[in-house]
Amino acid sequence: MKTNIFVNPIDHTALRLEVKSGANGEVVEGSLLGLNGETYPIIDGIPDFTILSDNVRNNYAKELFKAKAEEYDKYQHLSFETFYEDEITVRNSMIDKLCLQSNGRVLEINAGTGRDSVLIAGRLSNEGGLHVQDISKEMLDICRNKLKGITVPVEIHQGNAGKLPYLDRTFDAVYSFGGVGMSTYADNNDAIAEMVRVTKVGGRIVFGGLSLAPWLRDTFFGKVLLNHNSHYGNTISFVDFPIQARKLNVSWNLAGAGFVVDFTVGEGEPAANFQYEIPGPRGGTHLTRYFGNLEGVTEETKKLAIKARDKLGISMHEWLDELVKREAQRILDSKK
């Protein structure tokens, strides 16, 4: 584990390493200390940055996957076979949306036992790197065993998706399947905002999980699934999507029982040309229509203005702008 790649998840400042024991140059036990006394323990080589910003849902996730970790891989394939889908094909179809380069730096959030991690690592070269996060230490231990022997640089940490221990714009791509977007486990707004923060402009974000398509919720298909697992009732909130999202797509897989969101990270709000002259009788531009509103006139005055505009053969914007400007300047120039 390279401790210098991590920062304080609270304020993104540097951390100081306090080593208890080490082996072959690798930090196995110790702590990473923040400037304000924060302590993040390193246990068996995995730093724990967990900050329970949402105690109820975060703790639910920790306890759920602690209990499921040992048996998780035995039954996970059934979630795909239920819908006559091949698990590897579905997972690879989501990873395809990351548009990875072999030298890319990738963060996987809610990696679980590493079923996607090994597929992502297989697309990267030694010049790339994979960072893996989950809230469950038990799941991460299994994931780490799967990644042993992989030549791609791998870094693992325990934590929650709403507080990531990385500097802004660290990664070329960020991925999550079965975590982000599932409001059962955490606040999606926080998690998605963090994904955007740590992704480079132009980088890709893909996340997905369980969520019955709205048109299937009242069908027999939907009712059977909801009876089996309440997580299928998870809903996708478009309010959670960030303003930096460009070319965003929402699709459903698993016969409509699962969702996938993918987008490219932009900078700030989208750009648009609001200054071109809009043809037609109103005239003006988007900006003059937005910023140039004046107090309203009576219906009779408006009708007269329209007749005058039509007689002049110009747009209402052109006529009013000149008229108001000329009259205002005359008043300002006149002697008091």
Q: For residue 206, give both structure tokens.
A: 């893909």
Q: How far from chain centre, in Å, is Cα 194? A: 7
Per-residue pLDDT for the chain (336 aa), expressed as one digit of tens each? 677 899 999 999 999 999 876 656 667 789 999 999 999 999 999 999 998 666 677 777 777 778 888 898 999 999 999 999 999 999 999 999 999 999 999 999 999 999 999 999 999 999 999 999 999 999 999 999 999 989 999 999 999 899 999 999 999 999 999 888 877 777 788 899 999 999 999 999 999 999 999 999 999 999 999 999 999 999 988 888 999 999 999 999 999 999 999 999 999 999 999 999 999 988 999 999 899 887 888 899 889 989 999 999 999 899 888 989 999 999 999 876
Cα 245–251–256 angle (5° rounding)?
Answer: 150
What pLDDT does residue 264 have?
A: 98
Residue 54's pLDDT is: 64
Q: Which helix (H) or strand (E) holds 120?
A: helix 117-121
Are 243 and 268 a contacting pair, CB within 8 Å? yes
DSSP string, 263-288: EEE-SSSPP----SPPPSSS-S-HHH
Helix/strand/coil for 78: helix
Phi-psi map region of 187: left, alpha, beta (phi>0 left; psi -120 to 50 alpha): beta
Nearest to 51 by CA among 152, 191, 179: 191
Could you give the strand order of the β-sheet that contains 46-47, starting from the edge strand earlier in sequence? 16-23, 26-33, 39-43, 46-47
The residue among 202, 190, 200, 207 whose CA lies nearest residue 242 is 190
Expressed in angstroms, the distance from the first to the final Cα of the chain is 78
State the Cα–Cα distance between residues 207 and 98, nearest whole angstrom: 10
CA 210, CA 177: separation in Å to the nearest integer? Answer: 9
Which pLDDT score, from 0 to 100, does residue 182 have?
A: 79
Residue 29, strand partner residues: 21
